Amino acid sequence: MDAISAVEPVGNGEKGGHSVSNIVFRSTVLGSIIQGLVALLIGLAMYTFALGNQYITLSYNLARSASVALTEYTDELQPLVEKVMQRYHALPEEERQKTFTKEYRDLYLDIYADDEYSKIRRLMHRFLNNSDLFGVYIGFYDEKTKSLVYIVDPDDNEETATYPGDWEPVKDNELSEFINWDYDSKTYSIDNTEKWGWICTSGYPIHNAHKEIIAFVLADVSLNDLYRGVKSFVVQFSLSVLLIIILQAAAMVYYFRKRIVNPINDIAEAASNYARDKQEGSDVADHFSHLDFKSVSEMNHLKNVMSKMEFYISEYEKHLTDMTAEKERIEAELSLATRIQSDMLPSDYPAFPDRDDFDIYAAMIPAKEVGGDFYDYFLLDNSHLVMMVADVSGKGVPAALFMMMSKLLLRNAAMEGMSPANALTEVNEIICRNNKEEMFVTVWLGILDLATGVLTAANAGHEFPILKNSQGKYAAIKDKHDFVIGGMPGIKYRQYEIKIDPGSRIFLYTDGVAEATSTDFALFGIDEILDVLNRDPDVAPKQVCDAVYAGVEKFVKGAPQFDDITMMSIHYIKRYEVKESDMPQRSITVKSTLDQLEPVTAMATEFLDMYDCPKRIKPQICVVIDEIFSNISSYAYEQEPGDVEVQIVMNNAQRSVDLTFIDSGVEFNPLRVEEPDVSLAAEDRETGGLGILMVKKLMDGVFYEYKDNKNILKIRKFLE
């Protein structure tokens, strides 16, 4: 949910950057302005060109018709022109510079008075009055001084009128255009003059009878109207274009808002609601499908995609929730399994606080949550310590399940008093019966007789045990290996015996120790284990295990542990003094009737079978039980039958069986019964006393005592 809270809700006022309407408006305006400008320029050029041409034609036509009219006056005009030009050329340069001044004009005063001048001026005047011309006059282009010399000007306005001899400099190109006039093109010039503003001047030559150009008629047209026309055109055009642009942009904006911006905002709002609902944990599942943008296919598509996305996200969330719950459940179960598994391994220390004759410590460090290694130890009786270390193939839950089964079976077999070899053989048969997964377990199973120091052990494919005698160093026992448990049915496991002296130590482990691998793939190995063990050989079992584990940790240099590590260390401190109560025993109390002989015999034979009683001795003990019990049943209780307690005790230390009969009947010491003479012939023999005789002879010791009103008869038989 943290990821969703990172999404900022997008309100209408919080849009970053420019809005789409804004962009549409701006781009429309900008584009239209560029278009409008181009249109304006083109329009302006065309307008100006057309109007300008009209003005040029106007002035040109005027100049020509004036020229035609003047053709009849060439006889008067030619001498006038020559007279003015003679006077002009006669003047020095500095005098000519005074043109347009009164002083300069006075130099030509006499020419004004000529009839020719007046006649021509009158004619010109008529032209001027009959047209819209700004001015029409006769001039002479003087090539020598590059100037236009005015000859006749009909203008009455003193301000603007020119007089004969007045002149103006002429640009080279204008001069050559007029002088080299080709009769075909219109000759004109456009200038912005100080006096009259923009004017267009067209000229037309005046020829004499010899077709010689004697002067030019020049017609001026003011372009100021044109200029004003252009100005108003630009203003009107621009204003109307601008108005159109604004209207168009507004329409575009309106359209875009309706069709694109609003749908986007709707989707944004729906998405924002969706994010908020997700954040608040609301389960509203439908945020997009109500939107309707059918008119814009892309928007509709976007809406459909969003709607689908919402559906898939919600499906995924459901799936994710289920998966998370499932994962949590598995984790919880796995941790419970880990606890159950570790609870199965004895782990309270000191393990046997009331025992000072031996010390034991074991530890299992699983590589995963649950492991396949296990160990177990328990006292079969006060003088027999059962120890086992095992490693199930594989890891994780399967190995753990197999480990549970193997451990229970092995423990049960050992507790039933089976020898290590018999226990392994039995467990192997049971496991092989239902082992479709073909798992197996390596086991080292040993029983240490704490009274004698005899270690009886069997090895089902497990690592070598390590032994240290009281005076020696730790060394591996290269014991006989049989096949792994679960590997193949029908295997007869073998066992071996080693007698160890008090002070000896045993170290057992799994391949998690022997095959611990460092980051550079070196194996810890048995030599390394022995090194660690022999470095400090006389510490307590816990310190032994800690030291080996520390050795492994140091060796692997932080490489991940890939197999369970199991260690067991036993210190056999001293021999155990066996007390009678420690010995394996059974007892039964029955009525003193002869039919109770059967359960007593059954109890004894069953017990003897458990302790590998030699074949010959068992029937002897049965005979003895028969004799004693029948004796008691016949003589102990005179009136009613009473209780008889029969005990049988196995003294493993001296390999003897002790039988005890206790009854509360009449005091009677069977040992005092006179023995029959066994050398007599049949006819002379008596039948009494034979039973007691047999008991004495078959057994190795018979003791009687009468104590607390009880007859106690104890019989001992050595088994070897």
Partner 1 sequence: MIIEKEKNGTDLVIYLSGRIDSITAPNFDVELKSSIVGIETLTLDMEKLDYMSSACLRVLLSVQKIMNARGGMKVIHVNDVIKEIFDITGFSGILTIE
Could you list the residues that contact partner 1 (CB under 8 A)? 594-595, 597-598, 601, 616, 619-620, 622-623, 626-627, 629-630, 633, 677-683, 685, 687, 690-691, 693-694, 697-698
Minimum Å distance from CB 720 to partner 1? 16
Residue closer to partner 1 (CB basis): 249 or 625: 625
8 Å CB contact between 713 and 628: yes
- Give yes or no for a contact between 459 and 480, defined as CB atoms under 8 angstroms apart: yes
Least Å from the CB of residue 621 to partner 1: 10
Q: In this structure, are residues 570 and 388 in contact, taking their beta carbons and an 8 Å threshold?
A: no
Task: Kindly tell me which of 317 and 598 has the beta carbon lying closer to partner 1.
Answer: 598
Of residues 452 and 630, the one with the C-beta less far from partner 1 = 630
Torsion of CA 27, 32, 38, 39, to 10 degrees: 170
Interatomic CA distance for residues 553 and 541, integer angstroms: 18
Nearer to partner 1, 50 or 681 (CB): 681
User: CB of residue 544 vs partner 1: minimum separation in angstroms?
Assistant: 51
**Cβ proximity to partner 1, 272 vs 630, nearer residue:** 630
Nearer to partner 1, 181 or 635 (CB): 635
Q: Which is nearer to partner 1, 260 or 693 (CB)?
A: 693
Q: Which residues contact 116 (CB under 8 A, 6 or more apart)?
A: 76, 77, 79, 80
Task: Give the integer Cα–Cα distance in Å for 535 and 551.
Answer: 11
CA 168 to the chain's CA centroid: 92
Judged by beta carbon, residue 535 or residue 697, the one nearer partner 1 is 697
Cβ of residue 683: shortest distance to partner 1, in angstroms? 6
Which contacts (CB < 8 Å, 24+ apart) does range 49-56 have?
Answer: 51/226, 51/229, 51/230, 52/190, 52/200, 52/223, 52/226, 55/200, 55/221, 55/223, 55/226, 56/186, 56/188, 56/200, 56/202, 56/221
Q: How far is the CB of 642 from partner 1 (least distance, A)?
A: 18
User: Alpha carbon of 96 to those of 84, 89, 107, 114, 166: distances in Å?
Assistant: 13, 9, 10, 22, 8
Nearer to partner 1, 31 or 599 (CB): 599
Rounded least distance, CB 592 to partner 1, Å: 12
Least distance (Å) between residue 598 CB and partner 1: 7
Whole-number minimum distance, CB 595 to partner 1, in Å?
A: 7
Q: φ, ψ for residue 585 (rounded to 5)?
A: -155, 160
Smallest distance from partner 1 to CB 691, Å: 4
- The number of beta carbons lying within 10 Å of the beta carbon of residue 644 is 26
Spatial CA neighbour of 136 closest among 219, 34, 20: 219
Q: Are 567 and 363 in contact (CB under 8 A)?
A: yes
Which amino acid, residue 116? E
Residue 617 Cβ vs partner 1, minimum distance, rounded to whole Å? 9
Q: Return the number of the residue (239 or 678) whose C-beta is nearest partner 1.
A: 678
Sequence-ordered list of residues with C-beta below 8 angstroms from that of 125, at least 6 positions apart, any chain: 154
- The interaxial angle of helices 115-129 and 20-70, nearest 10 deg, is 140
Only one residue has tokens 């998370």, namely 324
